[in-house]
Protein backbone atom coordinates (compact mmCIF):
# COMPACT_ATOMS: atom_id res chain seq x y z
CA UNK A 1 0.00 0.00 0.00
CA UNK A 2 1.35 3.39 -0.89
CA UNK A 3 1.34 6.14 1.63
CA UNK A 4 -1.53 8.44 1.05
CA UNK A 5 -0.06 11.70 -0.13
CA UNK A 6 -0.73 14.59 2.11
CA UNK A 7 -2.21 17.42 0.08
CA UNK A 8 0.37 18.84 -2.25
CA UNK A 9 2.08 21.67 -0.41
CA UNK A 10 2.69 23.42 -3.72
CA UNK A 11 -0.96 24.43 -3.84
CA UNK A 12 -1.17 27.92 -2.39
CA UNK A 13 -4.77 27.34 -1.32
CA UNK A 14 -3.78 24.78 1.31
CA UNK A 15 -3.59 26.37 4.73
CA UNK A 16 -1.48 24.98 7.59
CA UNK A 17 -4.64 24.67 9.70
CA UNK A 18 -6.24 22.42 7.08
CA UNK A 19 -3.15 20.20 7.02
CA UNK A 20 -3.21 20.13 10.82
CA UNK A 21 -6.77 18.84 10.87
CA UNK A 22 -5.73 16.08 8.41
CA UNK A 23 -2.79 15.25 10.70
CA UNK A 24 -4.98 15.10 13.81
CA UNK A 25 -7.43 12.89 11.93
CA UNK A 26 -4.64 10.44 11.11
CA UNK A 27 -3.41 10.44 14.71
CA UNK A 28 -6.93 9.73 16.00
CA UNK A 29 -7.31 6.95 13.42
CA UNK A 30 -4.10 5.18 14.41
CA UNK A 31 -4.23 5.89 18.16
CA UNK A 32 -7.87 6.28 19.23
CA UNK A 33 -8.24 8.04 22.54
CA UNK A 34 -4.78 9.59 22.49
CA UNK A 35 -4.37 13.01 24.08
CA UNK A 36 -3.76 15.36 21.15
CA UNK A 37 -3.19 18.47 23.22
CA UNK A 38 0.59 18.00 23.15
CA UNK A 39 0.48 17.75 19.34
CA UNK A 40 -1.56 20.95 19.09
CA UNK A 41 0.89 22.67 21.43
CA UNK A 42 3.84 21.44 19.36
CA UNK A 43 2.16 22.87 16.25
CA UNK A 44 1.56 26.25 17.92
CA UNK A 45 5.19 26.48 19.06
CA UNK A 46 6.60 25.37 15.68
CA UNK A 47 4.30 27.74 13.75
CA UNK A 48 5.39 30.64 15.95
CA UNK A 49 9.10 29.82 15.57
CA UNK A 50 8.99 29.25 11.81
CA UNK A 51 6.77 32.29 11.18
CA UNK A 52 8.08 34.24 8.18
CA UNK A 53 10.29 31.36 6.94
CA UNK A 54 9.46 29.91 3.53
CA UNK A 55 10.23 26.75 1.59
CA UNK A 56 11.99 26.93 -1.79
CA UNK A 57 8.59 26.67 -3.51
CA UNK A 58 7.30 29.70 -1.65
CA UNK A 59 5.13 27.79 0.84
CA UNK A 60 5.15 28.82 4.50
CA UNK A 61 7.83 26.66 6.15
CA UNK A 62 5.44 25.18 8.70
CA UNK A 63 3.83 23.12 5.90
CA UNK A 64 6.98 20.94 5.91
CA UNK A 65 6.94 19.86 9.58
CA UNK A 66 3.19 19.23 9.41
CA UNK A 67 3.62 17.00 6.35
CA UNK A 68 6.51 15.13 7.99
CA UNK A 69 4.34 14.64 11.08
CA UNK A 70 1.51 13.32 8.89
CA UNK A 71 3.81 10.80 7.19
CA UNK A 72 4.98 9.68 10.64
CA UNK A 73 1.39 9.43 11.92
CA UNK A 74 0.33 7.42 8.87
CA UNK A 75 2.75 4.64 9.73
CA UNK A 76 1.33 4.54 13.25
CA UNK A 77 4.07 6.23 15.27
CA UNK A 78 3.29 7.51 18.77
CA UNK A 79 2.06 11.01 19.66
CA UNK A 80 5.53 11.84 21.01
CA UNK A 81 7.13 11.03 17.64
CA UNK A 82 4.47 13.16 15.91
CA UNK A 83 5.33 16.06 18.27
CA UNK A 84 9.03 15.59 17.50
CA UNK A 85 8.21 15.66 13.77
CA UNK A 86 6.41 18.98 14.16
CA UNK A 87 9.37 20.41 16.08
CA UNK A 88 12.16 18.64 14.17
CA UNK A 89 13.62 21.75 12.53
CA UNK A 90 13.09 24.25 15.35
CA UNK A 91 16.38 23.72 17.18
CA UNK A 92 18.41 23.79 13.97
CA UNK A 93 16.67 26.58 12.06
CA UNK A 94 15.40 28.93 14.79
CA UNK A 95 16.76 30.27 18.06
CA UNK A 96 14.76 27.73 20.06
CA UNK A 97 17.11 25.79 22.35
CA UNK A 98 17.05 22.11 23.14
CA UNK A 99 16.80 22.94 26.85
CA UNK A 100 13.62 24.96 26.23
CA UNK A 101 12.20 22.16 24.14
CA UNK A 102 12.96 19.62 26.86
CA UNK A 103 11.28 21.80 29.46
CA UNK A 104 8.15 22.27 27.35
CA UNK A 105 7.76 18.85 25.76
CA UNK A 106 9.71 16.42 27.92
CA UNK A 107 12.77 14.21 27.56
CA UNK A 108 11.49 11.86 24.85
CA UNK A 109 10.54 14.57 22.35
CA UNK A 110 13.79 16.43 23.10
CA UNK A 111 15.82 13.24 22.59
CA UNK A 112 14.16 12.64 19.19
CA UNK A 113 14.60 16.23 17.99
CA UNK A 114 18.22 16.19 19.16
CA UNK A 115 18.83 13.00 17.14
CA UNK A 116 17.34 14.48 13.95
CA UNK A 117 19.32 17.69 14.42
CA UNK A 118 22.55 15.71 14.79
CA UNK A 119 21.70 13.63 11.70
CA UNK A 120 21.21 16.79 9.66
CA UNK A 121 24.68 17.95 10.60
CA UNK A 122 26.60 14.93 9.32
CA UNK A 123 27.89 15.34 5.82
CA UNK A 124 26.90 12.53 3.53
CA UNK A 125 29.28 12.34 0.61
CA UNK A 126 27.46 10.34 -1.97
CA UNK A 127 29.33 9.32 -5.11
CA UNK A 128 32.73 9.92 -3.53
CA UNK A 129 35.50 7.67 -2.34
CA UNK A 130 33.89 7.25 1.09
CA UNK A 131 32.25 3.81 0.97
CA UNK A 132 28.45 3.87 1.09
CA UNK A 133 28.43 1.38 3.95
CA UNK A 134 30.50 3.76 6.11
CA UNK A 135 28.00 6.54 5.44
CA UNK A 136 25.08 4.30 6.38
CA UNK A 137 26.90 3.30 9.55
CA UNK A 138 27.44 6.96 10.37
CA UNK A 139 23.70 7.54 10.13
CA UNK A 140 22.90 4.42 12.15
CA UNK A 141 25.37 5.40 14.87
CA UNK A 142 23.38 8.56 15.54
CA UNK A 143 19.95 7.10 14.86
CA UNK A 144 20.33 4.39 17.47
CA UNK A 145 16.67 4.96 18.33
CA UNK A 146 14.60 3.72 15.35
CA UNK A 147 12.14 6.60 15.87
CA UNK A 148 14.93 9.04 14.95
CA UNK A 149 15.52 7.15 11.73
CA UNK A 150 11.78 7.19 10.95
CA UNK A 151 11.73 10.96 11.47
CA UNK A 152 14.73 11.45 9.22
CA UNK A 153 13.21 9.21 6.53
CA UNK A 154 9.89 11.08 6.66
CA UNK A 155 11.79 14.39 6.43
CA UNK A 156 13.69 13.10 3.41
CA UNK A 157 10.50 11.79 1.83
CA UNK A 158 8.79 15.19 1.93
CA UNK A 159 11.96 16.86 0.66
CA UNK A 160 12.07 14.38 -2.23
CA UNK A 161 8.41 15.03 -3.05
CA UNK A 162 9.20 18.72 -3.44
CA UNK A 163 12.68 18.28 -4.95
CA UNK A 164 11.75 19.88 -8.29
CA UNK A 165 12.12 23.32 -6.70
CA UNK A 166 15.86 22.80 -6.08
CA UNK A 167 18.70 23.44 -8.57
CA UNK A 168 19.42 20.45 -10.87
CA UNK A 169 22.84 19.69 -9.33
CA UNK A 170 21.39 19.60 -5.80
CA UNK A 171 18.54 17.40 -7.01
CA UNK A 172 20.97 14.82 -8.39
CA UNK A 173 23.04 14.87 -5.19
CA UNK A 174 20.01 14.43 -2.93
CA UNK A 175 18.57 11.72 -5.17
CA UNK A 176 21.82 9.76 -5.11
CA UNK A 177 22.07 10.08 -1.32
CA UNK A 178 18.49 8.89 -1.08
CA UNK A 179 19.09 5.80 -3.21
CA UNK A 180 22.42 4.86 -1.70
CA UNK A 181 22.01 5.73 1.95
CA UNK A 182 18.41 6.36 3.02
CA UNK A 183 16.35 3.87 1.00
CA UNK A 184 18.49 0.91 2.20
CA UNK A 185 18.15 2.17 5.79
CA UNK A 186 14.37 2.38 5.34
CA UNK A 187 14.38 -1.24 4.28
CA UNK A 188 15.61 -2.24 7.73
CA UNK A 189 12.54 -0.78 9.41
CA UNK A 190 9.66 -3.03 8.48
CA UNK A 191 7.13 -0.24 9.11
CA UNK A 192 8.97 2.05 6.73
CA UNK A 193 8.78 -0.14 3.61
CA UNK A 194 6.20 2.13 1.98
CA UNK A 195 8.52 5.06 2.63
CA UNK A 196 11.39 3.11 1.11
CA UNK A 197 9.46 2.39 -2.07
CA UNK A 198 8.39 5.98 -2.55
CA UNK A 199 11.92 7.27 -1.81
CA UNK A 200 13.32 4.96 -4.47
CA UNK A 201 10.69 5.95 -7.03
CA UNK A 202 11.23 9.67 -6.48
CA UNK A 203 15.04 9.42 -6.51
CA UNK A 204 15.06 7.24 -9.63
CA UNK A 205 12.82 9.76 -11.41
CA UNK A 206 15.35 12.50 -10.67
CA UNK A 207 18.45 10.55 -11.66
CA UNK A 208 17.04 8.64 -14.61
CA UNK A 209 14.05 10.53 -15.99
CA UNK A 210 14.63 8.67 -19.22
CA UNK A 211 13.75 5.37 -17.50
CA UNK A 212 10.16 6.53 -17.68
CA UNK A 213 10.50 7.51 -21.32
CA UNK A 214 12.19 4.73 -23.24
CA UNK A 215 11.73 6.20 -26.72
CA UNK A 216 15.01 8.10 -26.85
CA UNK A 217 17.22 5.29 -25.61
CA UNK A 218 19.26 2.93 -27.71
CA UNK A 219 18.50 -0.77 -27.54
CA UNK A 220 21.58 -1.64 -25.39
CA UNK A 221 20.72 1.06 -22.86
CA UNK A 222 17.11 -0.10 -22.69
CA UNK A 223 18.17 -3.70 -22.17
CA UNK A 224 20.67 -2.84 -19.43
CA UNK A 225 18.26 -0.45 -17.68
CA UNK A 226 15.65 -3.20 -17.57
CA UNK A 227 18.02 -5.92 -16.44
CA UNK A 228 19.43 -4.01 -13.44
CA UNK A 229 16.13 -4.79 -11.75
CA UNK A 230 17.73 -8.16 -10.95
CA UNK A 231 20.35 -6.42 -8.81
CA UNK A 232 19.77 -5.42 -5.17
CA UNK A 233 18.01 -2.05 -5.25
CA UNK A 234 20.77 -0.17 -3.43
CA UNK A 235 23.25 -1.05 -6.18
CA UNK A 236 21.15 -0.37 -9.29
CA UNK A 237 21.83 3.34 -9.67
CA UNK A 238 25.58 2.87 -9.58
CA UNK A 239 25.68 0.17 -12.24
CA UNK A 240 23.26 1.90 -14.63
CA UNK A 241 25.40 5.01 -14.40
CA UNK A 242 28.67 3.14 -14.76
CA UNK A 243 27.51 1.25 -17.86
CA UNK A 244 26.02 4.41 -19.39
CA UNK A 245 29.51 5.94 -19.01
CA UNK A 246 31.19 2.97 -20.68
CA UNK A 247 28.62 2.79 -23.50
CA UNK A 248 29.15 6.48 -24.19
CA UNK A 249 32.84 5.96 -25.01
CA UNK A 250 32.30 2.93 -27.26
CA UNK A 251 32.39 4.23 -30.80
CA UNK A 252 30.51 1.65 -32.86
CA UNK A 253 27.00 0.39 -32.50
CA UNK A 254 28.31 -3.14 -32.75
CA UNK A 255 30.70 -2.68 -29.83
CA UNK A 256 27.88 -1.23 -27.71
CA UNK A 257 25.58 -4.11 -28.60
CA UNK A 258 28.31 -6.64 -27.74
CA UNK A 259 29.00 -4.94 -24.41
CA UNK A 260 25.30 -4.99 -23.49
CA UNK A 261 24.76 -8.56 -24.67
CA UNK A 262 27.69 -9.94 -22.65
CA UNK A 263 26.56 -7.88 -19.68
CA UNK A 264 23.04 -9.29 -19.88
CA UNK A 265 24.53 -12.76 -19.59
CA UNK A 266 26.64 -11.69 -16.63
CA UNK A 267 23.92 -9.90 -14.66
CA UNK A 268 22.78 -12.96 -12.68
CA UNK A 269 26.41 -13.49 -11.65
CA UNK A 270 26.74 -9.84 -10.71
CA UNK A 271 23.52 -10.06 -8.68
CA UNK A 272 24.94 -13.06 -6.83
CA UNK A 273 28.24 -11.30 -6.19
CA UNK A 274 26.39 -8.29 -4.78
CA UNK A 275 24.04 -10.37 -2.66
CA UNK A 276 26.76 -12.40 -0.97
CA UNK A 277 26.99 -11.50 2.72
CA UNK A 278 30.52 -10.22 2.42
CA UNK A 279 29.77 -8.02 -0.59
CA UNK A 280 26.26 -6.90 0.12
CA UNK A 281 26.76 -4.18 2.68
CA UNK A 282 23.02 -3.44 2.66
CA UNK A 283 22.44 -6.78 4.33
CA UNK A 284 25.20 -6.62 6.88
CA UNK A 285 22.98 -5.59 9.82
CA UNK A 286 20.62 -8.38 8.83
CA UNK A 287 23.35 -10.96 9.10
CA UNK A 288 23.87 -9.97 12.73
CA UNK A 289 20.15 -10.47 13.32
CA UNK A 290 20.47 -13.86 11.69
CA UNK A 291 23.37 -14.71 13.96
CA UNK A 292 21.33 -13.74 17.02
CA UNK A 293 18.39 -15.78 15.81
CA UNK A 294 20.67 -18.71 15.18
CA UNK A 295 21.58 -18.59 18.85
CA UNK A 296 17.94 -18.66 19.90
CA UNK A 297 16.21 -20.84 17.36
CA UNK A 298 19.09 -22.84 16.06
CA UNK A 299 20.15 -23.29 12.48
CA UNK A 300 16.62 -23.72 11.10
CA UNK A 301 15.44 -20.39 12.53
CA UNK A 302 18.41 -18.53 11.14
CA UNK A 303 17.97 -20.24 7.79
CA UNK A 304 14.30 -19.25 7.62
CA UNK A 305 15.13 -15.69 8.68
CA UNK A 306 17.82 -15.42 6.02
CA UNK A 307 15.34 -16.63 3.43
CA UNK A 308 12.68 -14.17 4.53
CA UNK A 309 15.07 -11.23 4.34
CA UNK A 310 16.49 -12.38 1.02
CA UNK A 311 13.34 -12.35 -1.06
CA UNK A 312 14.75 -13.81 -4.26
CA UNK A 313 16.07 -16.91 -2.56
CA UNK A 314 12.94 -17.16 -0.46
CA UNK A 315 10.70 -17.20 -3.51
CA UNK A 316 12.91 -19.73 -5.26
CA UNK A 317 12.90 -22.08 -2.29
CA UNK A 318 9.17 -21.56 -1.73
CA UNK A 319 8.50 -22.39 -5.38
CA UNK A 320 10.65 -25.52 -5.12
CA UNK A 321 8.95 -26.68 -1.92
CA UNK A 322 5.49 -26.03 -3.35
CA UNK A 323 6.39 -27.83 -6.57
CA UNK A 324 7.69 -30.76 -4.53
CA UNK A 325 4.47 -30.94 -2.51
CA UNK A 326 2.35 -30.91 -5.66
CA UNK A 327 4.43 -33.71 -7.13
CA UNK A 328 4.25 -35.71 -3.91
CA UNK A 329 0.49 -35.22 -3.80
CA UNK A 330 0.14 -36.29 -7.40
CA UNK A 331 2.23 -39.43 -6.87
CA UNK A 332 0.48 -40.37 -3.61
CA UNK A 333 -3.13 -39.70 -4.47
CA UNK A 334 -3.40 -40.26 -8.21
CA UNK A 335 -2.67 -43.97 -8.22
CA UNK A 336 -5.12 -45.32 -5.62
CA UNK A 337 -7.51 -44.28 -2.85
CA UNK A 338 -5.57 -46.03 -0.10
CA UNK A 339 -3.28 -43.11 0.86
CA UNK A 340 -6.26 -40.73 0.88
CA UNK A 341 -8.22 -43.05 3.18
CA UNK A 342 -5.24 -43.43 5.44
CA UNK A 343 -4.81 -39.65 5.60
CA UNK A 344 -8.50 -39.24 6.46
CA UNK A 345 -8.15 -41.73 9.27
CA UNK A 346 -5.08 -39.91 10.57
CA UNK A 347 -6.88 -36.57 10.54
CA UNK A 348 -9.84 -38.09 12.41
CA UNK A 349 -7.54 -39.57 15.03
CA UNK A 350 -5.85 -36.25 15.47
CA UNK A 351 -9.09 -34.29 15.82
CA UNK A 352 -11.01 -36.70 18.00
CA UNK A 353 -8.75 -39.41 19.40
CA UNK A 354 -11.32 -40.83 21.88
CA UNK A 355 -14.20 -41.56 19.53
CA UNK A 356 -11.86 -42.70 16.78
CA UNK A 357 -10.22 -45.15 19.18
CA UNK A 358 -13.68 -46.35 20.21
CA UNK A 359 -14.88 -46.74 16.64
CA UNK A 360 -11.70 -48.55 15.65
CA UNK A 361 -12.10 -50.83 18.68
CA UNK A 362 -15.69 -51.49 17.62
CA UNK A 363 -14.48 -52.28 14.18
CA UNK A 364 -11.83 -54.52 15.63
CA UNK A 365 -14.44 -56.30 17.79
CA UNK A 366 -16.47 -56.97 14.70
CA UNK A 367 -13.25 -58.59 13.43
CA UNK A 368 -13.54 -57.26 9.97
CA UNK A 369 -10.04 -56.09 9.10
CA UNK A 370 -10.82 -55.59 5.42
CA UNK A 371 -13.14 -52.69 6.27
CA UNK A 372 -11.38 -49.28 6.66
CA UNK A 373 -11.55 -47.67 10.10
CA UNK A 374 -13.58 -44.72 8.97
CA UNK A 375 -17.29 -45.44 8.64
CA UNK A 376 -18.73 -44.96 5.20
CA UNK A 377 -21.04 -42.06 4.67
CA UNK B 1 40.39 -13.69 -12.00
CA UNK B 2 44.19 -13.73 -12.26
CA UNK B 3 44.13 -11.85 -15.54
CA UNK B 4 42.02 -9.16 -13.90
CA UNK B 5 44.42 -8.93 -10.95
CA UNK B 6 47.33 -8.69 -13.35
CA UNK B 7 45.71 -5.80 -15.24
CA UNK B 8 44.88 -4.01 -11.99
CA UNK B 9 48.51 -4.37 -10.87
CA UNK B 10 49.86 -3.09 -14.15
CA UNK B 11 47.49 -0.24 -14.94
CA UNK B 12 46.89 2.92 -12.99
CA UNK B 13 43.21 3.13 -12.09
CA UNK B 14 41.67 1.44 -15.13
CA UNK B 15 37.98 1.74 -16.05
CA UNK B 16 35.91 -1.41 -16.40
CA UNK B 17 36.10 -1.14 -20.17
CA UNK B 18 39.90 -1.00 -20.07
CA UNK B 19 40.03 -4.14 -17.96
CA UNK B 20 37.74 -5.80 -20.51
CA UNK B 21 39.99 -4.74 -23.41
CA UNK B 22 43.23 -5.77 -21.73
CA UNK B 23 42.03 -9.16 -20.55
CA UNK B 24 39.96 -9.93 -23.63
CA UNK B 25 37.15 -11.24 -21.39
CA UNK B 26 33.52 -10.18 -21.90
CA UNK B 27 31.86 -7.49 -19.79
CA UNK B 28 29.55 -10.07 -18.22
CA UNK B 29 32.58 -11.78 -16.70
CA UNK B 30 34.62 -8.75 -15.70
CA UNK B 31 32.02 -6.70 -13.80
CA UNK B 32 30.85 -9.52 -11.50
CA UNK B 33 34.52 -10.26 -10.80
CA UNK B 34 35.29 -6.63 -9.99
CA UNK B 35 32.19 -6.47 -7.78
CA UNK B 36 33.32 -9.58 -5.92
CA UNK B 37 36.87 -8.24 -5.47
CA UNK B 38 35.40 -4.97 -4.23
CA UNK B 39 33.18 -6.88 -1.83
CA UNK B 40 36.11 -8.67 -0.22
CA UNK B 41 38.09 -5.45 -0.01
CA UNK B 42 40.81 -6.23 -2.54
CA UNK B 43 39.63 -3.55 -4.94
CA UNK B 44 38.12 -0.12 -4.46
CA UNK B 45 36.34 1.99 -7.03
CA UNK B 46 35.46 5.65 -7.39
CA UNK B 47 33.85 7.98 -9.91
CA UNK B 48 36.10 9.91 -12.22
CA UNK B 49 36.73 13.60 -11.66
CA UNK B 50 33.65 15.64 -12.69
CA UNK B 51 35.78 18.05 -14.74
CA UNK B 52 36.76 15.22 -17.13
CA UNK B 53 33.31 13.96 -18.02
CA UNK B 54 31.47 17.26 -17.80
CA UNK B 55 33.84 18.74 -20.37
CA UNK B 56 33.27 15.77 -22.67
CA UNK B 57 29.53 15.97 -22.09
CA UNK B 58 29.10 12.30 -21.23
CA UNK B 59 28.08 10.30 -18.14
CA UNK B 60 30.82 9.80 -15.59
CA UNK B 61 32.86 6.59 -15.55
CA UNK B 62 34.02 4.57 -12.60
CA UNK B 63 37.63 3.50 -12.14
CA UNK B 64 39.07 0.64 -10.13
CA UNK B 65 42.27 0.19 -8.19
CA UNK B 66 43.70 -2.40 -5.84
CA UNK B 67 43.70 -1.58 -2.16
CA UNK B 68 47.12 -2.00 -0.47
CA UNK B 69 45.85 -5.25 1.06
CA UNK B 70 44.45 -6.37 -2.30
CA UNK B 71 47.71 -5.55 -4.09
CA UNK B 72 49.65 -7.73 -1.63
CA UNK B 73 47.21 -10.59 -2.02
CA UNK B 74 47.16 -10.23 -5.81
CA UNK B 75 50.95 -10.36 -6.02
CA UNK B 76 51.04 -13.41 -3.77
CA UNK B 77 48.37 -15.14 -5.84
CA UNK B 78 50.12 -14.41 -9.13
CA UNK B 79 53.47 -15.49 -7.70
CA UNK B 80 51.94 -18.80 -6.60
CA UNK B 81 50.62 -19.46 -10.09
CA UNK B 82 53.77 -18.47 -11.94
CA UNK B 83 56.19 -20.27 -9.62
CA UNK B 84 56.04 -23.80 -11.14
CA UNK B 85 56.75 -22.52 -14.63
CA UNK B 86 59.86 -20.59 -13.71
CA UNK B 87 62.39 -20.65 -10.95
CA UNK B 88 60.82 -21.18 -7.56
CA UNK B 89 62.26 -18.12 -5.87
CA UNK B 90 61.17 -15.01 -4.06
CA UNK B 91 62.62 -12.99 -6.92
CA UNK B 92 59.39 -13.65 -8.76
CA UNK B 93 57.45 -11.40 -6.50
CA UNK B 94 56.59 -8.16 -8.23
CA UNK B 95 58.41 -5.08 -7.14
pLDDT of residue A68: 92
Cα A268 from chain centre:
23
Alpha-carbon distance B90 to nearest alpha carbon in chain A (angstroms)? 32
- Nearest Cα neighbor of A30 from A11, A9, A4, A57 is A4
User: Is residue A92 annotated as a catalytic residue, yes or no?
Assistant: yes
Q: Is pLDDT above 70 for A94? A: yes
Top-confidence range, A190-204, A348-362, B45-59:
A190-204
- Range of lowest pLDDT (A154-168, A169-183, A218-232, A284-298): A284-298
Res. A112 pLDDT band, cuts 50 70 90? very high
Can you state the percent helix, strand and coil of chain B, rounding each to 5?
60, 10, 30
- Using a CB-CB distance cutoff of 8 angstroms, which residues of chain A are in contact with residue B21? none
Q: Quick one: average pLDDT of A253-275?
A: 87
Scored b (16 or more CB within 10 A) or e, A95-131 reads ebeeeebbebbeebbbbbbbbbbebeeeebebbeeee
Task: Write the burial class of residue A361 (CB in 10 Å: 0-12 exposed, 13-18 middle, 19+ buried).
Answer: exposed
Q: Do B28 and A263 touch (CB under 8 A)?
A: yes
Cβ distance A63 to A15 under 8 Å? no
- Amino acid A1: pLDDT: 41
**Choice among A35, A40, A59, A93 that is catalytic:** A93
What count of CB pairs under 8 Å joins A to B?
A: 80
What is the pLDDT, as a whole number, of residue A355? 65
Which position has the higher pLDDT, A127 or A348?
A348
Q: How far apart are CA A163 and CA A171, in angstroms?
A: 6
Tell me how far CA of residue B22 lies from CA of A123, B13, B82, in angstroms.
38, 13, 19
Contact (CB<8Å) A245/B59: yes
Query: Which residues in chain B touch residue A249, judged by CB atoms under 8 angstroms apart?
Result: 17, 58, 61
Task: Return the biggest CA–CA distance within chain A.
Answer: 95
Kindly tell me if the per-residue pLDDT of A376 is higher than 50: no
d(CA A12, CA A213) in angstroms, rounded, equals 30
Choose between A209 and A181: higher pLDDT.
A181
3-state secondary structure of B46: strand
Residues of A in contact with B33 (CB under 8 A): 273
* Residue A134 phi, psi (nearest 5): -65, -40
By percentage, how much of chain A surpasses pLDDT 90?
Answer: 12
Reading phi first (left if > 0) and then psi (alpha if -120 to 50, else beta), residue A151 is in alpha
Q: How many other β-carbons are positioned within 10 Å of the β-carbon of residue A369? A: 8
pLDDT of A28 strictly over 60: yes
| Per-residue pLDDT at B51 exceeds 80 | no
Q: Average the pLDDT over A37-42 and give the result.
A: 91
Give yes or no for A209 touching B (CB within 8 A): no
Average pLDDT over residues A299-304: 60
**Any chain A CB within 8 A of the CB of B46?**
yes
pTM for the full predicted model: 0.48
Average pLDDT, chain A: 77
Q: For strands B43-47 and B62-66, give the pairing.
A: antiparallel
Per-residue pLDDT tens digits for A325-366: 888 888 877 777 887 888 888 888 888 766 666 665 555 555
Separation CA A157–CA A140 (nearest Å): 18
Question: Residue A138: pLDDT band by 50, 70, 90 thresholds?
Answer: confident
Q: Report residue B59's pLDDT band, with 50, 70 and 90 as the boundaries.
A: confident
pLDDT at A290: 55
List the one residue out of A13, A76, A73 whose CA is nearest residue A43: A73
- What is the pLDDT confidence band of residue A294, given thresholds at 50, 70 and 90? low
Share of chain A above pLDDT 70, in %: 73
Read off the pLDDT of each residue in A180-208 and give the average, rounded to a whole number.
Answer: 79
With contact defined as beta carbons under 8 Å apart, do A165 and A145 qualify?
no
A149 touches chain B (CB under 8 A): no
Q: Return the higher-pLDDT residue of A261 and A165.
A: A261
Between A114-123, A187-196, A365-374, the lowest mean confidence (pLDDT) is in A365-374
Helices (H) then strands (E): counts for chain A: 20, 0
Is A125 within 8 Å of chain B by CB? no
B1-46 pLDDT, tens digit per residue, is: 888 999 999 988 899 999 999 998 999 999 999 999 998 889 999 8
* A237, A180 contact by CB (below 8 A): yes
Report chain A's C-alpha Rg in angstroms: 28
> Average pLDDT, stretch A233-249?
84
Q: How does residue B89 score in pLDDT terms, banded at 50, 70 and 90?
A: low
CA torsion B43-B47-B52-B57 (nearest 10°) is: 130
What phi-psi label fits residue A52: left (phi over 0), alpha (psi between -120 and 50 degrees) or beta?
left
Please indicate if any CB of chain A lies within 8 Å of the CB of B38.
yes
Verify whether residue A93 is a known catalytic residue: yes
Amino acid sequence: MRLRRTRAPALPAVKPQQLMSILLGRVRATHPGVDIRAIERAYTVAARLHAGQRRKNGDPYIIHPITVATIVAEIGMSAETVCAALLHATVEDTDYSLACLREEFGDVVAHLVEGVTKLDKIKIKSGTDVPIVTQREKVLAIASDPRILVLKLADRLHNMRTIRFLPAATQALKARETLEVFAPLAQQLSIATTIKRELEDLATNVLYPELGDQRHRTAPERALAASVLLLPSAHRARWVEEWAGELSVLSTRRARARFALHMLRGIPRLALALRQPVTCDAHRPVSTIVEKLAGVLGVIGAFLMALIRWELAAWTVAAMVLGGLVLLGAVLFARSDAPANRLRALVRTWRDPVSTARSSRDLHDRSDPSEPEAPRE
Amino acid sequence: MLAVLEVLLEMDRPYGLEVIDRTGRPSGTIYPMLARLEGVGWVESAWEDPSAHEKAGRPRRRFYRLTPHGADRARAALARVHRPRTQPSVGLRFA
